[in-house]
Structure formats: C-alpha cells, structure tokens
Chains A and B, each alone.
Chain A
C-alpha cells in the first residue's frame, strides 16, 4: 500500500450560510465516508486546518494574511489515504462528500524517504 495526501480546497466562507440541519447532514455524510475508508483499510488519518494563516515568501521579507491570495478558496483540511496506485487513490477521493458542495480535491503520492 502506498500513502497519498488528499488536500481539500474549497470556499471556506460557504459554510457560514449553512443551516444547522445542513451542517448536521454534511457531518453525517463525512463520517459515513470515513467509516467506509477505515473499513476498507484506505484511511490513515486526517485533520482540518484553521482558516487563519500566513503566507511567507522569500526574498521580499513579505508575510501576508490568509492562506489564499485572490479568492476565498483555501485548503480546509487534508487526509492521508492508503491505496495501491494513484488511480485507486483518486477513485477513493471521488467519494468524498466535500465534492458535493464544490470542493476541489488534489491527491498526491507521498514519497517515502526513510530507511
């Protein structure tokens, strides 16, 4: 099994207009999805990211607010998936409920550098 990083990029402000019922439904979908990943042995971990952040660039000594530059879109969280190939990992990612509310997912293989 190889390890893949799945980044979730989405409109972070979109959630502020969700109703309590919609939020509950969204959570339930995600929990079901993660349960399935765990059951199939495809889940290694994951965490949400705070919406606050800084951007640091070299050379100009510049630090700007926000993980995002021009849009409200930002990386809201990440998962580590286990799969045998990039194809399989992207297939798994296609089931992520965040896609239903407009998220863009990026799946990248983690290159193991140890040993």
Chain B
C-alpha cells in the first residue's frame, strides 16, 4: 500500500542521468561487448520502478533503489547467460556473484564518474562520424531513446535506429579503454569530445526545432557532460571551461528567443529581462577561470562574444566593434563562411550596412554549405531592408524561403516580407 504520510519526489531527469551512470558502470564491469544486455538490464530496472512506484510511491532514496535492482538484475542476467567473463584474471575460479556484487558496490560510488568519462571518450571515437557520435552519446550516456533523439535532431526514427545500431557495433569492437587503469594517451580525444558536446548543445539550441522541451534537455545534457569532463578530464581543461561558459551564456537566453506560439524572436527584439542572470554569472566564472595566456580556442572566442551580448543593456548598446574583431579572430580558426557572415553582421552595426552588404555579395560567390544557404539570403535581405532597398530585400527573403528552411524559420522570413511590403505601401 502506498504510504501517504511519506511523499518523496524524484529529482528532475534522474532516470535519464541514472541510465547513463548505470550503463557506464555495468559496461566497465561486464565489458562493452555486452552493451545490449546491459541496456536491457537498465531498461528493466526502470520498468520495475514504474510498476512499483506508481502504487507504492517513490522510495526515500530512489537512486539507491534503482542501483540495488539493477545490480540484482545484472547478476542474474549474466549468471543465466553464463556471461561471467570479468576482465581480471582473478575473477575466474572464485565466487562470481560475490565478486560482481563487490565490484558493483565499490564501483558505483567511487567509479561512476570515471566510468562515464571513459564511455564518453569511447562514444567520441574518431572512427564514428560526428553526427553519429552525438547520437551515440545521447543514447548511451544521456539515456535518450530513439524517438527522443529523432525528435530532437529532426531525423526519421528508423534512420536514428539504424545509425545507433551501426555505431554500437563499432563501439563494441573497440572495447579497451574501460579496462586500462590510466587514461593517458587519450588527450587528443578530448578535442573530439569538445566538438561532440558543442554539436549536441547546438542541436538543442537551434530555434529551428521549435520550443519542444526535448531541445532544452539536449542542451542540459551537453552541460552535464561538460561538467563531468571538467571534473574528470585529462587535458584541455581551459577549453572545457570556455565551452561551458559558452553553453551557459546561451542557455541564459534560451527562453527569450521564442514566442509562446513557437516563432523566432530576433536578438534585437528579445526581452533582456528574461535572460537568466544567475546563469550569466556562472558563465562569467567559468570564462574567468578559462583564461590563460597563449590559450585561445574557438570556445574562448565564442564565449567572449556571447558574454558581450549578455553584458549589453540593449541591442543598440552592444559592443559591435569588439564582437566583429572577435569574429575576425574566429575566422582564422574555423574557416567557416558562417563565421564570416557573423562578422559582417556585427560590422553592419559598427561600421555601416553598405560595406557589409558588398562583402556579403562577394562571400556569396563562394560555394556555401547547402543547409545554411537560407541564412545568407536572410542576412542579405536584412542588409537590403536596412539600406531601404525594400523590394530587393523581399526578393532575397523569397530566395531564403526557396532554400527549404525549417517551419519556424519560414514563418520568420514571411513576417519579414510582410513588414517590408507594409513599408512600401
């Protein structure tokens, strides 16, 4: 019977976070080749919680309850299947069950973070493509299901499922990092982890995907894993701090970018009072700590740019010339036309629209990434509108629409066209 006198609650996203934690620890004990069985054990554990807690209420210590059940299920599953090949040679011949239980007790508190860190490094294996690294990390460490991933990154469920299956089989084949006692030699991998977390955050942050909660969850997971990396990472800690600062500066502005109906609000029209000051302060702390002479990564530059936006009391009072200077530095690292576009937008406010417009025209002579083409046309439309060439602006916006933007971007562009037409009449 439920105990009405004692009402406990579950921490937000406990299941999702615990899923990654339990998977990581169990993989380390039983081996990555049993990833599928381990994921089944973790899933069954949550299923059992679902069945029981609904009726009985939430136990006092939900985490301990989940751990205990997962432990029993893992021991039973591996005993049943005869899969008791633990890594240490000492495992053979002794009492397996006791050994597994002892390892689990020991592992969980002391090694949960370490195991997650190792699994994160494995998910970011350079042999797996960037998008698949993001999906794999979300699935295994973040406890995101196939439907959730598909919804968050706008892919078909079947495609996500196939990609995950492929990545998981490559993952199983590279099982060794979990066993070594030190993580030396994996410094280079941290760079890939940064990229994966950066992409994960951006996937969640894109306004193109509407205002679904799942998008914010993606951002929060990227933040959680970045913090894990900061505590456990073996190198490039200052870059991790800068990356975290960048994420938090952006997260602080998450809610102000979208209307209640899910349409995009441009930076110039956002209500700055909605920006989360506590997050901005945290971001500043990470940014301060990340600063070291002779170490300036793209994350540092992007975090400083984000901080300047957060520091500006209004759109008009933004320090556009510094932002333009920082984008110029960033161009030297990223070589991306999108960075150049961002620099031109900043310069359009600091130096004048006309100059930026001409440079944009030149930039658009180059081949541009197909998925981003509409952004360049939209910027061109904005420049032309500000140059009072309204009918030309409308043409540019129409071209942007023809590059198949997302529904919310299309709405935004149609609004811009409507505004232009109003000013003509």
Within 8 A of B (CB), among A37-78: 38-39, 43, 45-48, 76-77
Tell me whether B16 and A21 are in contact (CB under 8 A): yes
Tell me whether A22 and B2 are in contact (CB under 8 A): no
B298 to chain A, nearest CB (A): 31
Tell me whether A19 and B148 are in contact (CB under 8 A): yes
Q: Of B4, B50, B51, which is within 8 A of A35 by CB? A: B4
Q: Is A11 an interface residue (CB 8 A)?
A: no
Q: Of A17, A22, A24, A46, which is within 8 A of B1 by CB? A: A46
Given contacts A19-B145, A19-B147, contact A43 B4 (CB under 8 A): yes
A42 to chain B, nearest CB (A): 11
Tell me whether A20 and B15 are in contact (CB under 8 A): yes
Q: Is A30 an interface residue (CB 8 A)?
A: yes
A38 to chain B, nearest CB (A): 4
A54 to chain B, nearest CB (A): 19
Q: Is A34 an interface residue (CB 8 A)?
A: yes
* Residues of chain A lying within 8 A (CB to CB) of residue B4: 35, 38-39, 43
Tell me whether A21 and B143 are in contact (CB under 8 A): yes
Main secondary structure of the interface of B (DSSP, over half): helix
A96 to chain B, nearest CB (A): 10
Q: Of B10, B145, B148, which is within 8 A of A27 by CB? A: B10
* Residues of chain A lying within 8 A (CB to CB) of residue B9: 28
Residues of B within 8 A of A (CB-CB), count: 30
Contacting chain A: which of B52-60, B71-79, B191-199?
B52-60
Within 8 A of A (CB), among B1-44: 1-2, 4, 7, 9-10, 13-16, 18-19, 43
Residues of A within 8 A of B (CB-CB), count: 26
A95 to chain B, nearest CB (A): 14
Cα A63 to Cα B397 in complex, Å, equals 71
Q: Is B46 an interface residue (CB 8 A)?
A: yes
* Residues of chain A lying within 8 A (CB to CB) of residue B101: none
Q: Is B368 an interface residue (CB 8 A)?
A: no
A33 to chain B, nearest CB (A): 9
Interface residues, chain A, with chain B CB atoms under 8 Å away = 15-24, 26-28, 30-31, 34-35, 38-39, 43, 45-48, 76-77
13 more A-B residue pairs beyond the given contacts A24-B15, A28-B9, with a C-beta to C-beta distance below 8 A = A15-B47, A19-B147, A20-B16, A21-B15, A23-B15, A23-B46, A24-B10, A26-B50, A31-B53, A34-B2, A34-B57, A38-B2, A39-B4
